[in-house]
Chains A and B, each alone.
Chain A
Amino acid sequence: MSPLRILMCCYDQRGLGRTARTLDIASALTARFSDCAILILSNLSIVGRFRAPQGVDVVRMPSIGPATGSEAGRTSIDRERALQIRRMLAERTVETFKPDLVVIDRDPAHLPAEMQTVLKSVRDKLPKARVVWALPDMVGSPRVVGPRWSAEGVCQTLDRYCDEVWVYGVRGVFDQAREYEFPAGLAEKVHYTGYLRSPSVPPHRVPNDLLRAHPDRPLVLVTAGGGASGYPLISNYLDFLERVNGDATFQSVVISGPMMPARWNAALAERARRLPHVIFHRFSKQVLQYMRHSQLAISRGGYNTLCANLTYRKPAILVPDEEPPHEHLVRADVFGRLRWCGLVRPGELSPTSLGDSVLSSLAGGSDQPRPERAERVSLDGLDHIGERVRKLAVRRRPARNGAIQNVHPVEGDGRHPGLEM
């Protein structure tokens, strides 16, 4: 029998989060379904830095914005042509790979015509294929997302083309269907999978440079995701260290991100080099190892980093930016309100405010936000995704004799796994 074919489309706009988590999900699916071929369609320029697991290959589309990793504003190939190429790649991948299941991880707003064509071609040419739209726990502020989605007819598009919508979160934490006012038909299709547990890291795998550092000092990890807009966070953090002027009792690992423009990165790296007890990387495959050995993790509140915070139960300070639709800010707000992590608001970011948060978190008073409070939040997203895949695609596939096993997905009790508050 031909293997189960899954096409996973991930479109990263400024970061690398969607592609990174798609690879993690693909990895979990190949482990669960032995006979499974997954093709990932990604626009991430540095996708080659991630190791695709066995059973998974990648098709990479050209960028449509400025070339990443180079100077801002410089384009590689012209936008119209790049869009045409992307549409072609998506269409022909669908046509030739013939997926049983298509999972799309992309912001459903500002959907280019390209994407609609692809969805339509899946529906027309592969009537048996199931289509899923995947969303992180929250997309942005309901005040922004609601109007934008209704103006663009996002809910109608999702409803028309998708069999299910997966939210990689927990309804008790953030009820997307209600917050973004999904019409009843679409709300029916939503499955809350729970958060995605980060891959486990063996405790003895300590990054080399950390081994050479001072094991007695607590470790503060500062990450900026892809790094495209991480400059303010890291600059303020280094500013704080410069003011403490060598008197810090902790050590820091700072990871600026591979998409930070080279000039900014160089400036930050140079400042970090002059400071004692600071390890600086632009990109590290060992982020999770650092996370595991840290006492405090500071980030911009990206979805994947937050999952790592929850997985390793690390006290965290989220420093979201103000970029609409405020995904990071809403996440930081929700988690801050639940007292799962600390928060420095965009307008309040300064070396002093950040430094105060760091110092009080490390001092660890009883009033400090604690990730342990989130212990009942489901991190079983990967299992639930596997279960959905089984119900949607595996059981529907033609049996060996060619007869269709017409099994409808059964609604189990685990439909809204997660928070029991």
Chain B
Amino acid sequence: MTRRFAMQGRGEAKREREREDMIGSGSRLLIYSQDGFGLGHLRRNLNIAYRVWRSQPDVSVLVVADSPAAPFFALPPRCDFVKIPTLVKVDSGVWCSDRLSLDHREVLSIRTRLLEGLVESYRPNLVLVDHMPHGIFGELTSSLRIMRRRRQRPRIMLGLRDILGAPAEICRRWRLEGAYEAAEQYYDGVCVYGCADVFDLVREYEFPASIAAKASYCGYVSREQAPPALEEADLARMFSQRHDGLVVVTGGGGADASFFMDKFIDAVRLMFPRVPFDAVLSTGPFMHPEQHMLLRKKAKGLPIHVTRQGQDNIRMLRRADLVISMAGYNTISEILRYRKRAIVVPRSGPSAEQTIRTRIMGERGLFTVVGARELTTEGFAALIRRKLDEPEPGDRAAIPDMEGAANAAERLLAAAG
């Protein structure tokens, strides 16, 4: 008797869950954002989450992130996050745990169990997986299976940034790791956060017809809810004596940005005392504190304000007459969106993503590209002077579609039905 009652209770609970899964309003979106070494994916995903909220304010969003700095950016309304232990990419296909002195396989098994649990307890009806169809070392596979088995199967979407890496390398890895099969088997759609005429990802990465058919280009995702440009009063607080121009130097997360920042300070020192601008050098949350201090020391006496405040980057960038940066997705999107003159120094490894992006966009005349190894102090100084005299880039035709966040949000919500 008791037992039957319990069984009935379970059946009831199951039906209850199913009813719940069907409710359209109050949908739940789960976003997997793998980001051990920086903030780029997280920022893009939060921009999309913001757009989702704008069109469907009753959708709740749970972001699973592994960036040690998460969430770093302000979360949109109705959005919360879970941080899982961090794995860091050391080389293509090689990962290790970030700070924990445990073998990466052990960290992986913790992550896998937590991800499965999130799928079971959050019960999303819409899932967006960022850039790795089955996660690091296939950590998502079991969760994807769990979701596929559910009667009310959630819609599962894959989000890929404009360029993942060198085509030969990406194809090899995807084949080796079974990413094509995962994309084919588990996903209802693929959102490419780029434009086919910049980089035809589907063709370059040899997507089979089955995946190509469900892929669509959304355009570039750039900053939503960007705060206004810095005001003169803000700059007056940073510099004792203001010059006309403002150069903003930024390296995204900052983990490997100290090299070109160092070169920049050399170039400014060479121009000193006839420096026609003030510079803000934003080192980013991932730069080693020692390196940050060294740059700060080195910039003493020059019109350079060294700061770590990554959150204010966009305000500085909007004010800038010239941006000098690395070529991460978000920084480039912001440069394009706000039509800034820019000198871009792409990261050379471990993936070719930044060099490919800058080669294509550099050829279109969207900004000037300099290889990190080609940077001489004299050449850098001359280039900065020349760029400051150039007219602002105004050619609308060359700038790709920048409405990626809105388009992706629309695509996601349409998939959820």
Measured CB to CB, the residues of A under 8 A from B are 3, 35-39, 45, 47-49, 51-63, 67, 69-70, 74-78, 81-82, 84-85, 87-89, 92-93, 95-97
B118 within 8 A of A: yes
Instruction: List B contacts of A75 (CB < 8 A).
Output: 78
Q: Give the nearest-CB partner of B60 in chain A.
A: A77
Give the residue of B80, B85, B98, B118 whose beta carbon is less than 8 angstroms from that of A39: B85
CB contact under 8 A between A58 and B83, given known A37-B100, A53-B99, A74-B77: yes
Shortest distance between the CB of A398 and any CB in chain B (Å): 17
Q: Give the nearest-CB partner of A74 in chain B.
A: B77
Contact between B100 and A56 (Cβ–Cβ < 8 Å)?
yes
Instruction: List A contacts of B114 (CB < 8 A).
Output: 59, 88-89, 92-93, 96
Can you spell out 8 A-B residue pairs with CB atoms less than 8 angstroms apart?
Answer: A37-B100, A47-B83, A63-B80, A70-B77, A77-B78, A77-B80, A85-B82, A88-B121
Instruction: List A contacts of B118 (CB < 8 A).
Output: 85, 88
Give the residue of B74, B77, B99 whose beta carbon is less than 8 angstroms from that of A56: B99
CB contact under 8 A between A85 and B86, given known A54-B99, A57-B98, A77-B80: no
CB contact under 8 A between A58 and B82, given known A3-B101, A78-B60: no
Q: Mark B85-97, 1 if CB is under 8 A from A, else 0.
A: 1100000000001
Instruction: List B contacts of A82 (CB < 8 A).
Output: 80
CB contact under 8 A between A96 and B121, given known A55-B100, A77-B62: no
Bound form: Cα–Cα A175–B356 in Å: 66
B159 within 8 A of A: no
CB contact under 8 A between A36 and B101, given known A48-B68, A81-B122, A88-B118: yes
In the complex, besides A81-B122, A87-B121, 12 extra interface pairs with C-beta distance below 8 angstroms are A3-B101, A37-B100, A48-B70, A52-B99, A57-B68, A70-B75, A77-B80, A78-B60, A81-B121, A88-B117, A89-B82, A92-B110
8 A Cβ contacts from B102-120 to A: 102, 109-110, 113-114, 117-118, 120
Contact between A77 and B28 (Cβ–Cβ < 8 Å)?
yes
Q: Mark B18-59, 1 if CB is under 8 A from A, else 0.
A: 000000001010000000000000000000000000000000
Shortest distance between the CB of B45 and any CB in chain A (Å): 15
Q: Chain B interface: which size bin?
A: 35 or more
Give the residue of B82, B99, B102 whose beta carbon is less than 8 angstroms from that of A62: B82
Contact between A61 and B82 (Cβ–Cβ < 8 Å)?
yes
Contact between B82 and A76 (Cβ–Cβ < 8 Å)?
no
Contact between B68 and A85 (Cβ–Cβ < 8 Å)?
no
Contact between A48 and B71 (Cβ–Cβ < 8 Å)?
yes
B84 within 8 A of A: yes
B79 within 8 A of A: yes
8 A Cβ contacts from B299-315 to A: none
B69 within 8 A of A: yes
B272 within 8 A of A: no
Shortest distance between the CB of A395 and any CB in chain B (Å): 20
Contact between A57 and B99 (Cβ–Cβ < 8 Å)?
yes
Instruction: List A contacts of B358 (CB < 8 A).
Output: none
Contact between B99 and A76 (Cβ–Cβ < 8 Å)?
no
Give the residue of A37, A67, A88, A95 whose beta carbon is less than 8 angstroms from that of B80: A67
Shortest distance between the CB of B294 and any CB in chain A (Å): 15
Contact between A35 and B60 (Cβ–Cβ < 8 Å)?
no
Q: Give the nearest-CB partner of A35 in chain B.
A: B101
Q: Mark B121-155, 1 if CB is under 8 A from A, else 0.
A: 11100000000000000000000000000000000
Contact between A76 and B100 (Cβ–Cβ < 8 Å)?
no
CB contact under 8 A between A3 and B102, given known A57-B86, A74-B77: yes
Q: Give the nearest-CB partner of A77 in chain B.
A: B60
Bound form: Cα–Cα A92–B81 in Å: 17
Instruction: List A contacts of B109 (CB < 8 A).
Output: 96
Bound form: Cα–Cα A397–B101 in Å: 17
B250 within 8 A of A: no
B407 within 8 A of A: no
Q: Give the nearest-CB partner of A71 in chain B.
A: B77
B72 within 8 A of A: yes
Instruction: List A contacts of B72 (CB < 8 A).
Output: 48-49
Instruction: List A contacts of B331 (CB < 8 A).
Output: none
Instruction: List A contacts of B113 (CB < 8 A).
Output: 92, 95-96
Q: Give the nearest-CB partner of A89 in chain B.
A: B114
Give the residue of A58, A88, A93 whose beta carbon is less than 8 angstroms from that of B120: A88
Bound form: Cα–Cα A48–B63 in Å: 14
Bound form: Cα–Cα A233–B189 in Å: 53
Bound form: Cα–Cα A379–B77 in Å: 42
Shortest distance between the CB of B63 and any CB in chain A (Å): 10
Contact between A62 and B80 (Cβ–Cβ < 8 Å)?
yes
Shortest distance between the CB of B29 and any CB in chain A (Å): 10
Bound form: Cα–Cα A96–B113 in Å: 8
Contact between A85 and B101 (Cβ–Cβ < 8 Å)?
no
Give the residue of B67, B78, B110 whose beta carbon is less than 8 angstroms from that of A97: B110
Instruction: List B contacts of A47 (CB < 8 A).
Output: 83
Contact between B83 and A62 (Cβ–Cβ < 8 Å)?
no
Instruction: List A contacts of B117 (CB < 8 A).
Output: 85, 88-89, 92
Instruction: List B contacts of A62 (CB < 8 A).
Output: 62, 80-82
Instruction: List B contacts of A51 (CB < 8 A).
Output: 68
Q: Give the nearest-CB partner of A64 in chain B.
A: B80
Bound form: Cα–Cα A59–B82 in Å: 7
Contact between A60 and B70 (Cβ–Cβ < 8 Å)?
yes
Bound form: Cα–Cα A57–B106 in Å: 13
8 A Cβ contacts from B384-404 to A: none
Give the residue of A53, A55, A69 whose beta carbon is less than 8 angstroms from that of B74: A69
Which 6 A-B pairs give the minimum distances between C-beta atoms?
Answer: A60-B83, A76-B80, A88-B117, A96-B110, A62-B80, A48-B69
Contact between A59 and B28 (Cβ–Cβ < 8 Å)?
no
Bound form: Cα–Cα A36–B102 in Å: 9
Contact between B67 and A57 (Cβ–Cβ < 8 Å)?
no
Instruction: List B contacts of A92 (CB < 8 A).
Output: 110, 113-114, 117
Contact between A57 and B85 (Cβ–Cβ < 8 Å)?
yes
CB contact under 8 A between A85 and B122, given known A48-B67, A93-B110, A93-B114: yes
Contact between A55 and B121 (Cβ–Cβ < 8 Å)?
no
Instruction: List B contacts of A84 (CB < 8 A).
Output: 121
Contact between B99 and A55 (Cβ–Cβ < 8 Å)?
yes
Bound form: Cα–Cα A47–B72 in Å: 9
Bound form: Cα–Cα A397–B78 in Å: 44
Instruction: List A contacts of B60 (CB < 8 A).
Output: 76-78
